[in-house]
A and B are shown apart, each in its own frame.
Chain A
Amino acid sequence: MTKKIDLISPAGDLPSLKAAVDAGADAVYIGFRSPTNLRNFPGLNFSLKEAKKGIEYAHKRGKEVYVTINIYPQVDGVDLCFKEVDSAYSLGSDSVILTDLAVLEYTHRKYPDFEIHLSVQAGNSNAETIQFYKREFGIGCVILSRILTFEEIEEIEKKTSVDLEVFVFGSLCANYEGRCQLSSYITGVSNNTVGACSPLEFVQFVHDDNGKLSFKLNEIILNEYSQGEFCTYPTPCKGRYLNTETDMLTYSFQSPASLNLLGEIPELAAAGVDAFKIEGRQRSKIYVENVTRVFRSALDEFYKSPELYVARKEWLEELCELSEGIR
């Protein structure tokens, strides 16, 4: 084993960034407070001043910070994305996570020494596409599509010359990344357009007298829960629909489960993965801190004796409490 797997944690604010660094993240990824990155939610993300502080905090401790700029900007958004790339560079962040061709071209041309990571939103499912981005924009790392199998990751590893990063924990998207417009079909905005899937201003939580809870997205009821039933944030892919063919009300796209690959560290290492990414810039500091700590402990234990590694029960229990679904 040549290089150890890096642990990349999310941070929606400065306290979470610090918590992630302290809990053992090798790098933290953040977004600026603008419609340029996924998780563009009110009250979340970094001002330039906060980002500067965060980067200083991480660098002092030998850790890195990546800035996410991964929408597909339309006419009014391109210049803002360019501006955010300028800011990320001048603040000294270690890399930018990009997806749009215009933003990739701008960054590579203007800052040839600035490390670029290819966002999962580019839909990175095969080696040829990844090598295209490597040739054109010199990307150093690709965040792989969540729909790949271990064998496919291994195949990509053999055929590409960039670092491979995979999501190991957090919320799951059921659909091919960057090609889902379920949210904008209902609300007019999506991850691609403004960096938000089912933004809060379109969401309503309605309780009735019997304790039933309805989740509405722009007036459409996406789900109903009886008292005590497990709830997830109402994105259209996690809604329950009445199937007109079977006449059954089911989770038509995805059950409310979330991703956890703690038990699969040996397989991921064998497939040649270079970095583990934890999802959840929108989650709390406690979430960031605890998930980071568990994965740090697991990775350390794995490298001590790879052949003996098993995910400990207490780790799994802790992660279960923090996840947005059953798994």
Chain B
Amino acid sequence: MSVEQEKTNENNDDIIVIKDLNKWYGEFHVLKDINLRVKKGEKIVICGPSGSGKSTMTRCINRLEEFQRGSLTVNGVEMIEDVKNIEAIRREVGMVFQHFNLFPHLTILENLTLGPIWVQKKPKKEAEATAMKYLERVKIPDQANKFPGQLSGGQQQRVAIARSLCMNPEIMLFDEPTSALDPEMIKEVLDVMIELANEGMTMLCVTHEMGFAKKVADRVIFMDAGEIVEQNTPEEIFNNPQTDRLQLFLSQILDH
């Protein structure tokens, strides 16, 4: 009830608002004073060297990681230590992982209908119909009755995307979705993501696929040492880096 009220109260077009977010792993300061506002429909690519905190920041958005200081609001719901709020936020946010994390004991179709049936309490038929719709969109409806282990990495990742979409999320988070894939499978996953971007989904992607960033990103965020170092349009980031750190990073990932 209160969740719904909060939603309507703060009605602007910023769907994610992060203010002065700080996180520690024990004594280690992983995220330092992160401030970020994401508009509805905006596509953001986050890059940076490993250990820069980009995954951690993304995972804070659907509370896979806790943070110690600052505030985080998703679609008008503030992230506080309250099961109701956390559930409300997770319903709005879909997430795709580096290692797919499909449920190996369930068929592809069951992977997709699990959320709609148990979280959204939809009838099985309806959930399956939705699932098939999304499987068609990721172009593997014929694999519906197989188990995840029988699919290639690219297919598994597309299923993982479809699984998130079945929950009808407002926001999609991608945590290095292509870095565990063989080169020839990267494209099929990126194609699905581009299509999704073109449909107006709000997206946050942690990725090193710079081609993808140039093609779809409204904004590229460069992170290092737990903070946002630069954020700008892809053209500005790639052609006109403002800091030595970003320049070094770009030279490392582009020159090979």
A and B found bound together: no
Chain A interface (Cβ within 8 Å of chain B)? none
